[in-house]
Structure 1
Amino acid sequence: MKISTTYKAIFAAVTLSLALLSCSKNSDYQPIDISGLSIIHASPTTEKLNVYVDNNLATLNEFSFGSKVDYLNAYSGSRKFDVTKSGSNTSLKTQQLTLEPQFGYSLFVIDKLENIQFLLVKDDLTKPAEGKARIRFVNLSPDGGTFNLAINGQPTDLFTNKAFKEYSTFETIDAADKVTFNIKNSTTSAIETTLADIKIENGKIYTIYAKGLKSTADQTKFGVAIFTHK
């Protein structure tokens, strides 16, 4: 798989360490398989959360709704993931998930607190062509229904019929200084929410996700967010 320069940087420090170790006197040394892991708080709760990988804390103290941890180096293979409330040692969800070597992953913490769960999605980080970017859509609104993602002014929706926890592949779009994305009801085509005047940069890779609850009016209310894979 052709990977972007950004993604290659995920493994640069590890590769250097492995090269140094391979020259050591330990002839039994075996290379360590590494994956890239990004973590996104998409659970519509006002609680701050902690995410652990094999009992090691992987998130910041202020990991709140909408927060994202950029790619971390994680050992490949079957890993144990836990999520807790900040300041608590009680796991709200424990799950074994598998990371393949030299791939990047987005780990979304999703659903209401009482039903909290993980959604692990492999990231295709193939570098876009010149003048292009790549984008994916994920529906993470538990009560939002089924959505399309459209670029304002385009005759055809970019992605269609994505129910809760469903996600698209990455598709190529033109880089531009201002792009407006519309989240549309898949049945009626009505615009549910909009992400306006977003700069889409040449060579970058993005995920847009529907988030929050239609049934609330606080900071967990229904909306849309975008992040860059880095």
Structure 2
Amino acid sequence: MTIHSKYLWGIISIIALSLTSCKKSYLDFQEEGEPLSAKIRFVNARNNGASIHFWTYITRVTSSLVTQNQSTNYINTQFGDVQISFSEGSNSTLKASTQFGNAATFGASGGPNGPIPDYYHTVFAIRKKNSVTNDSLILFYDDLVAPAAGKAKVRFVHLAPLVSDIRVKANSNTLFNSIAYGRAGNSIIAGTGLSAYSLGPFVSVDAGTLRFELTKIANESNLALARQEIAVQEGKIYTIYLSGVTDTALTLNSFTHN
């Protein structure tokens, strides 16, 4: 069968139109306008006192060393399937690396929970569970929608590697019934689509001073904290995290997102 040229060009035009109208995923690069980037705040939550630099693949993204329990401002970085690493001091040798966004299903150590363009994230450098020598990294999505009037927003992350699951109370009210190591309260580590973005959610609390009480669920014993109270201001968004090695040498750390 012979196809006349005018019909052939019509078919080609339809195919071209259908290709150009396809939606792009966040793994694609923007073709026009300003290049997209993910916004990531980096936190050094390790327990050995060493200051570190953060990297995406072979590019160092921090301009100055991040000391223990300190965080950077949000930095424009690569999005999509990306390896995030850190090094100690002036040494360029990478101590630990994690590939984010590299799996077909959602999971705690990868999956599609990679950095998203024009979205905000927090990446922690941490010790691996039950270890004080092996390192890793975790990523959380940051919901920066402003709190309601009179309220603050709080996220609680458990980063004390030798401490089992904990219950978190603030001002005698239970904020989170159970948080495992490396997790945030109320986090979801299963499913796809929108549920993936619940990894590390914030909860609303009254502005003022929060007095924390942490309990090991395994034996209902209270943890000794070097710092028990954290003041939260109206309209502010906080991440609070537990760090330290033994049950009797733990600290609460906090930083604001806005």
Deviation track 1:31-72 (CA, whole Å, cap 9, x = no partner) reads: 422221001111111222221123232335442221111211
Q: What residue number does 2:160 align with?
A: 141
Amino acid at match of 1:183: L
Find runs of 4+ consecutive structure 1 residues off by over 4 angstroms. Answer: none
Q: Percent identity?
A: 23
Q: What residue number does 1:11 align with?
A: none
Does the Cα contact within 8 Å between 2:56 and 2:78 map onto a contact in 1?
Answer: no
Q: What residue number does 1:55 align with?
A: 58
Q: Distance in 2 between matches of 1:53 and 1:65?
A: 20
Instruction: Determine if the alignment matches structure 1 residue 128 to structure 2 residue 160.
Output: no
- Where do 5+ consecutive residues of structure 2 fail to align? 1-30, 101-113, 186-200
Instruction: Determine if the alignment matches structure 1 residue 78 to structure 2 residue 110.
Output: no
May I ask how many residue pairs the two structures share in their alignment?
196
Q: Distance in 1 between matches of 2:65 and 2:116?
A: 28
Instruction: Determine if the alignment matches structure 1 residue 225 to structure 2 residue 253.
Output: yes
- Residue among 101, 108, 116 paired with 2:117: 101
TM-score scaled by length of structure 2: 0.69
Q: Distance in 2 between matches of 1:130 and 1:151?
A: 20
Instruction: Determine if the alignment matches structure 1 residue 182 to structure 2 residue 206.
Output: no
Q: Which structure has more RCO (C-alpha within 8 Å, separation ≥ 6)? A: 1
SS at 1:214's partner residue?
Answer: coil
Matches within 5 A, 1:166-177: 166-168=183-185, 169-176=201-208
Does the Cα contact within 8 Å between 2:37 and 2:78 map onto a contact in 1?
Answer: yes
Q: What residue number does 1:66 align with?
A: 69
Q: Cα distance, 1:106 vs. partner?
A: 0.7
Q: Cα distance, 1:189 vs. partner?
A: 3.7
TM-score scaled by length of structure 1: 0.77
Q: Distance in 1 between matches of 2:51 and 2:64?
A: 8
Deviation track 1:103-138 (CA, whole Å, cap 9, x = no partner) reads: 211100000563111101111212111111111111
Amino acid at match of 2:207: A
Q: From the two aligned structures, give the one with the greater strand fraction.
A: 1
Amino acid at match of 1:134: K
Q: Cα distance, 1:158 vs. partner?
A: 0.5
Q: Distance in 2 between matches of 1:150 and 1:96?
A: 34
- Where do 5+ consecutive residues of structure 1 fail to align? 1-27
Amino acid at match of 2:88: K
Q: What residue number does 1:12 align with?
A: none
SS at 2:133's partner residue?
Answer: helix
Q: Cα distance, 1:185 vs. partner?
A: 1.7
Q: What residue number does 1:18 align with?
A: none
Q: Cα distance, 1:197 vs. partner?
A: 3.9
Q: Radius of gyration: which is bigger? A: 2
Alignment CA distance shift 1:134-1:187 (3 Å): same
Does the Cα contact within 8 Å between 1:138 and 1:166 map onto a contact in 2?
Answer: yes
Deviation track 1:129-180 (CA, whole Å, cap 9, x = no partner) reads: 11111111111111011111111233xx11122111111231111112x221
Deviation track 1:193-226 (CA, whole Å, cap 9, x = no partner) reads: 44444221111111111111007x8xxx422211
Q: What residue number does 1:20 align with?
A: none
